[in-house]
Amino acid sequence: MLISAILVALIAIGSQWWFSHVITRTWLYPIWAGFMVAVVMGDPINGMKAAAYIQLTYLGWITAGGTMPGNLMVAGVFGTALTIISGASPSLAPTFAVPFSLLGILINQAYMTINAFWVHKADKYLEQGNITGVRLMNYVPSGITSTILYGVPAFCLVYFGGDFATKALAAIPQNIIDALNVVGALMPALGIAMLLSFLAKKKIVAFFFIGYFATVYAKLDTMAITIFAACVGVLIYLFTMKKEGEEEETMAEEKKEQGKLQKKDLVKHWLLGYSSETCYNYERLQALGTTNAMVPIVRRLYKTKEEQAKALKKYTVFFNTEPSWIGTVIHGVAASMEEQAANGADIDAEDINAVRTGLMGPMAGIGDTVSQGIAYPILAGIACSLALAGNIAGPIIFEIAYKILMLGMGYAMYMMGYKQGKSAILKILSAGTLNKITEIFSIVGLMVVGNMAATRVTIKTPIAFKIGQVAINFQNILDSLLPGMLPLLATLLVWKLLNKKVKATYIIVILFVVGIIASLTGILAVAS
């Protein structure tokens, strides 16, 4: 148990201390973080299923701009661990995870507030020309803070909480357990509805219902729906992009002077950019991590420590964007402009930061859409389907596929920014290919979401009565009208609440209350 507790603590630390997104980015998501917890605790199958149930609850929860509607890392790690040590059914995992997630918001606030102190310490080191000190400030104090706030509680939960959790679960009456299972069956409606709210533009929302109907009538599973949706997306792209492809290219690319940077400098800068959120803090967000990433560039371009420190100072200002997929293009542009400045071009700190600041928002919008709104839910949906079927390949496929896509796109965008400079941004922001590709992926995402609405909101009604000598099963009546009607209605009602600007945390409370009351009164039950 000691070894398991230590390993779970390390997972909890890494899930928040993002020392490199190359490793830790997927630790944000319950399907992978929870699976790792399950493996080190010796119960990979049940733990994997628990992680999948938690993941479905938070499928549409997007963390952007330093905001956090719920702490996904805490939900995945602590929720899975508590499910395993208590011996509870995996379907109860969301009811364990949600309270931890809400408490985790406070922990995250403390973490990001404390990290602001290390930024000021880094400023002092930079004034002294101590670049090594700056780099240490990016990694070490935030790691210690994460250990205290995340690692220690995780260790205590696993090492000391087993007996208490088991006894507490045994003391709960069976009808309350059944009610909590109904709550767990309802919770995925929130994650699906949040994702639907993010993706569902008026002209493409119909694809959600196509995915739903293809599931309930054609009995297609998530993988089949994904393949079908991808084929539909490719066809739409080919037909709608034909005219645009025939248009003459008018955008001239910048002629970039041959500089001093070597390929290995660029690769180091790109990889270190995945550590931009290591010391994430409320005051300057990614500033310290971005400064750390620029070190290989300025060390190549400038000879003295004084020159290097001066060059790095411009990157210590507030900065925040999507750091792993699309936002890497900004780092590439910054490297290009820094190189040109070192070669004598009339480019100063204000010019570089004006470009960086102006691109933060657009790149964050595009990047969050691609990564969190499209790639992640599609891959997580497939992973959850496999995991709930007992297939260990689910989370493994998620981990590998997500990293391949992230690193591939991140490197391509970085090199585009470096080679083409500011003209790369004009290409990205132009209302053409990228917008269309984003829309196509959104269509694929909506069809997968439709599938999950039909299969993962697992509620039914047990209501039955007699009229004379005829027994009437109300669920059979609903199925004859529209299979999966209750899951669909639950998802659409939650979507409606989100569109009315009801906070997700309030909706969680509503689902808890409705689920428990509906179960105790015999209105709802968990579908087999």
Confidence of residue 254 (pLDDT cuts 50, 70, 90): very low
Q: Where are the domains of the chain?
A: 2-175, 187-247+446-526
For residues 491 and 446, is the Cβ–Cβ distance under 8 A?
A: no
CA angle, 305 then 309 then 314, to 5°: 160
Say what the pLDDT of residue 198 is.
79
At residue 261, does pLDDT exceed 80? yes
Tens of pLDDT, residue by residue over 78-91, are 999 999 999 999 99
Tens of pLDDT, residue by residue over 359-407, are 888 888 788 888 888 888 889 988 999 999 999 999 999 999 999 999 9
Between 456 and 259, where is the model more confident?
Answer: 456
The DSSP code sequence of 369-410 is HHIIIIIHHHHHHHHHHHHHTT-THHHHHHHHHHHHHHHHHH
For residues 106 and 119, is the Cβ–Cβ distance under 8 A?
A: no
Confidence of residue 425 (pLDDT cuts 50, 70, 90): low
Say what the pLDDT of residue 429 is.
59
The DSSP code sequence of 67-88 is --SS-HHHHHHHHHHHHHHHT-
Say what the pLDDT of residue 251 is.
39
Sole residue written with tokens 């993002």: 18
DSSP H or E stretch at residue 121: helix 93-127
- Taking the model in full, what pTM does it have? 0.84
For residues 105 and 71, is the Cβ–Cβ distance under 8 A?
A: yes
Percent of the chain residues past pLDDT 90, beyond the cut: 57
Mean pLDDT of the region 224-232: 87
Alpha-carbon distance of 514 to 519, in angstroms, equals 8
CA angle, 405 then 261 then 278, to 5°: 50
Among the listed residues 376, 278, 263, 349, the one whose alpha carbon sits nearest the alpha carbon of residue 31: 376
How much is the mean pLDDT over the chain? 88
At residue 173, does pLDDT exceed 80? yes
Alpha-carbon distance of 313 to 136, in angstroms, equals 16
Say what the pLDDT of residue 469 is.
76
Cα–Cα distances (Å) from 158 to 11, 81, 164, in that order, read 12, 7, 11
Confidence of residue 255 (pLDDT cuts 50, 70, 90): very low
CA gyration radius for the chain?
25
Confidence of residue 253 (pLDDT cuts 50, 70, 90): very low
**Within a 13 Å sphere around the CA of 164, how many CA atoms are in the beta-carbon half?**
7
